[in-house]
Amino acid sequence: MDLKLVFLGIAVLLAPSISGQDAKVSLDEEASQYRMFDEVGVDSWWEMVEAQPAAEQAWLNLFLAERFNRWGNEEKELSKKDKSVLDDVQTGIEFNVPNSFADNYVRFITSDFENKVALEAAEILRPNDPLILEARINYDRIFGSSTAQRLSVTNWGTQQVPSPQLLAYQRNVLKSLPQNALLITNGADDTYPLLLVQYQENFRSDVKVIQLDLMTSSSYLSKVASLLGVSESKLSNESREASFKSIVEADLTNKVHLPFSLPGTWLKQLTSNHVVYGLSLSPMALTDLPQSNKALWGTMDQQNASSNNQYARNYIPMLLRIFQQGSSEEKQLVAPIIRDLASTSSNPQVILNMLSE
């Protein structure tokens, strides 16, 4: 059995998912909807802005909901119709709530994170808003110094306070990487807590993070090309998936590592040259990696691999690797953990069957 292909298949079973449900939300409840806009039907936000055109927060949530609905976490390439809808929402914001936080924030986002004037105007209006804290990190990741990046990330961490579970997981991700590795991330939970561990704890600062959501910025694309040692023409910014593929293909030095938190459908498209190493897929040969999965597991916070952790399923490929290649004693140690984590998968029986092969 080709273990490389088996584990790439498992990555699809473990692919993270985002779901929501339609609900009606009153305008009085809008302020609590920053991270919940995807759980409310887009039609509800349209109804709100039509009923109260001056409701700034409803406009902002409409923009976020439409953007998420049309791009999602994988951020596919937008159709002309999708772009037209988002342009209409932005026009509505500019006309109905000009110079507001929503207006400036949307101007910043639609500038591919490069409109500094709009960012600073939004910061003045709501300096501690979760959206603007993330926006400041993104701007500094493109244009700021290492000091500026450290300040914006630690400020985000002070205001948002990620869960200990999430920080422990990202710490284990960093432990999964060889010296001077490059790591692709996709989205807020995938990126900001990991950066916080790096900056606040001064842990594994040798690892360089490539944010797929910033690849729409030509300035950031140029930075990534320089990091990879290739020309900008080798990289794509048409969509996150296209960026992902182009970065992997341009990685001639075998430094780009892929965390299991990336969409499983993307990971499945890889060749069998990548191997399971900790919480990522590595382009390096196992013989070139600094230690075995068994030794790596011994350095991790193992309590984080619990079925009540939203990222716990990502431990399964590494633990299966240890189970299939380990001694009888090692199999007995990891098998109960795998059985517990299998319940977090969309197809637990496939994983359980591997324990009996």
Q: What's the pTM value of the predicted model, to 2 decimals?
A: 0.87
pLDDT along the chain (357 residues), means of 10: 51 43 34 46 90 96 87 62 91 98 97 97 97 97 97 96 93 96 93 96 96 95 96 93 94 93 86 86 90 94 85 92 90 92 85 85
DSSP letter, residue 344: T
Instruction: Cite the DSSP H helix spans in the chain.
Output: 3-13, 42-51, 56-71, 80-96, 101-110, 116-125, 130-143, 146-160, 164-175, 188-200, 218-228, 240-250, 264-268, 293-299, 316-325, 328-342, 348-356
Residue 196: alpha-carbon gap to chain centroid: 14
Task: Give the C-alpha separation, 110 to 119, whole Å.
Answer: 11
Token pair 């040798």 is found at: 206
pLDDT at 10: 57
Half-sphere exposure of 132 (CA within 13 A, CB side): 20
Angstrom distances, CA of residue 157 to CA of 65, 124, 133, 191, 193: 25, 19, 9, 12, 8
pLDDT at 193: 96
Task: Give the C-alpha separation, 198 to 177, whole Å.
Answer: 13
Q: What are phi and psi of 184, to 5 degrees?
A: -85, 130
Assess contact for 229 and 192: CB atoms under 8 A. no
Q: Are strands 208-211 and 280-282 parallel, antiparallel or unpaired?
A: unpaired
The domain defined by 27-145 carries CATH number 1.25.40: yes
Q: What are phi and psi of 171, to 5 degrees?
A: -65, -40
Closest to 7 (Cα-Cα) out of 339, 300, 273: 273
CB neighbour burial string for 51-61, b if at least 16 within 10 angstroms, e if fewer = eeeebbbbbbb
Q: Which tokens belong to 53? A: 């055109």
Assess contact for 173 and 259: CB atoms under 8 A. yes
Assess contact for 77 and 115: CB atoms under 8 A. no
pLDDT at 77: 63
Q: Which tokens belong to 241? A: 């998936």
pLDDT at 322: 94
Task: Give the C-alpha separation, 144 to 154, whole Å.
Answer: 14
Segments making up each domain of the chain, as ranges: 3-16+162-356, 27-145
List CB contacts of 32: < 8 A, sequence separation 6 or more.
Answer: none
Task: Give the C-alpha separation, 176 to 291, whole Å.
Answer: 10
DSSP character string of 162-190: --HHHHHHHHHHHHTS-TT-EEEE-SHHH
Token pair 């432990």 is found at: 175
Task: Strand 182-185: give its sheet, edge to edge.
Answer: 208-211, 182-185, 256-259, 280-282, 275-277
